[in-house]
Amino acid sequence: MAEITDADLEAAKRRWAEERAERPAPSAVRFDRDSERIVVEFTNGAAFLVPARALEGLQKATPDDIADVELLGETGLHWERLDVDYTIQGLMAGIFGSRAFLEAQRRGGQSRSPAKIAASRVNGAKGGRPKKMG
């Protein structure tokens, strides 16, 4: 096994810094109260937005608690008061919580309660789902 010299180590650090400079990194995070979205800003001017209430652990949090978000290095978001953490990569991939939470969210609109079935039949007899107003 070859020994790593100080020169090798310095060269590796230089290569890492050059590669790192080419990739956008998160530079800031904030909660936009008007849209209720978490906004992650990047060094290249891009931004990523995610609806705060869609995240497990934030559904019932106060706006002040949600606004108390901070970057964890370049990889994550952290809410100290809520004891909630997310990776930015995971959020960008649409992972907004645990597998059980995501499955419950998915099933929510598929509920087949007797009340929902009856309402669906009434709406169908009237020509379908009412149009949204406004």
CATH number at residue 66: 3.30.2020.40
Range of the domain at 71: 7-97
Predicted confidence at residue 130, as pLDDT, reads: 63
Domain for residue 129, yes or no?
A: no
- In the sheet where 69-72 sits, what is the strand order? 69-72, 76-79, 84-87
Domain for residue 110, yes or no?
A: no
Helix (H, G, I), strand (E, B) or coil at 129: coil
Domain for residue 118, yes or no?
A: no
Q: How many domains does the chain have?
A: 1
Q: What is the pTM of this model?
A: 0.64
**Which parts of the chain have pLDDT scores under 50?**
none
Domain for residue 86, yes or no?
A: yes
